[in-house]
Structure 1
Amino acid sequence: MTSRGFRPTHVVPPRGMPAWETPDPARPTVPLDPLLPVELMDRRGDWAYIRCANGWAAWVDGRVLVAVPGDPPAADGAPEGTADPRPLLARAEQALADYRAAVEALASGALDGEDFEARTRDLRIGLVVDGESMWLYDPEEGRWLYGDGRRLSTYATDRTVTGAGDTGHAPTRLVAPEGERR
């Protein structure tokens, strides 16, 4: 469930990052996944207090968060180079159904932990819906896309961008800094 008022301001660097319960290195918590959209809530020196779409919050090294641009502007019709969101939504639905089936098999005892891990190893799903706005992770392309219901455009990527070429995808804006730390 998306927490009320969540608006991504940053993404986690492409290699993921550690997180802490408090701005204290002695209190680590669960690390954050690569390119996870987060909202910057507060800063204390180099520390940044972030919130995720599900409401979970933590302290991180604010120096390595990747700022995201504002939402792409809405326009009438589908301009050249934008993608229809429906195929990617269908893939996300299938990945979620596959994960749900694996969880049900694990809960019923039909799978053990090792088999569950093997069955879910390559599943990656990312979706934030906030009214008409949507951020959707495309695991095949390694990028987050922003959608307004009619079209998708690249929001952040974990790959080096050389240009849109003939891929049929929206032009990609690389938001990760060139000399990334970690």
Structure 2
Amino acid sequence: MSKAPSPGFQPTHVVPPRGMPAWEAPDPARPTLPLDPLLPVELVERRGDWGYIRCANGWGAWVDGRRLVAVPEDPPAADGPAGTADPRPALARAEQALADYRSAVEELAAGTLDGEDFQDRTRGLRIGIVVDGESMWLYDPEEGRWVYGDGRRLTTYATDREVTGEDDSGHAPTRLVAPEGER
């Protein structure tokens, strides 16, 4: 696992719609925190079925690389074709979702909301956003897609489409591969 800064983070894949397990090393005995559904990640290295990914915050882990959903193409260039939408409405929805979640957290902390009511109030609430300078990746739950924005427009980057043939068992990749130099 790496906490090194991630300059130039460029997502190449997203985590499948149901999330996925992750490991500290390409070894099934070393699990770590699971990855959230549709999280943008950068595939840095492959070792057989294993893939080493890095997140926007620099955190890295090993995953079953076969299950990652490839991003269809690089984000559009600023001088590329017009995007699909004005980013302001999607940003307003993201702000509202975050405000709703924060309000529920504050009420839970104040004791005016119990754990069950907190779960009910936040059930189905989804938000995802990565901002890196002028670039933004935003999850739009109304459309079920990740969009890329450059401040002027949004363009679809990845969707919630079903990934066929994926193993939902939560198990590690089937082939263990020794690190370079140990083969």
TM-score by length of 1: 0.80
Equivalent residue in structure 1 for 2:74, among 70, 73, 79 = 70
2:49 paired with 1:61 = no
Shift of 1:180: 3.5
- Partner of residue 181, structure 2: none
Equivalent residue in structure 2 for 1:8, among 6, 11, 26 = 11
How far apart in 1 are the matches of 2:44 and 2:156? Answer: 24
Paired amino acid for 1:108: A
In structure 2, the gaps of 5 or more residues are: 168-183
How far apart in 2 are the matches of 1:3 and 1:125? Answer: 22
Shift of 1:91: 0.5
Shift of 1:4: 4.2
How far apart in 2 are the matches of 1:14 and 1:37? Answer: 11
Shift of 1:120: 0.8
Equivalent residue in structure 2 for 1:101, among 94, 103, 106 = 103
In structure 1, the gaps of 5 or more residues are: 161-175
Aligned residue-pair number: 162
**Quick one: structure 1 residues 140 and 72, their matched pair in 2 at CA, closer, same or farther if it must change by over 3 Å?**
same
2:66 paired with 1:44 = no
Equivalent positions of 1:9-158 (< 5 A) are: 9-68=12-71, 69-75=73-79, 79=82, 82-158=84-160
Paired amino acid for 2:123: R
Shift of 1:110: 1.6
How many percent of aligned residue pairs carry the same amino acid? 78
Structure 1 runs, 4 residues or longer, greater than 6 Å off: none
- Partner of residue 163, structure 1: none
Give the SS at the match of 2:155.
strand
Q: Deviations over 1:32-71 (max 9, x none)?
A: 2222101123322221121222333221011221222111
C-alpha RMSD over aligned residues: 2.1
Give the SS at the match of 1:93.
helix
Larger relative contact order, structure 1 or 2 (CA cutoff 8 Å, min sep 6): 2
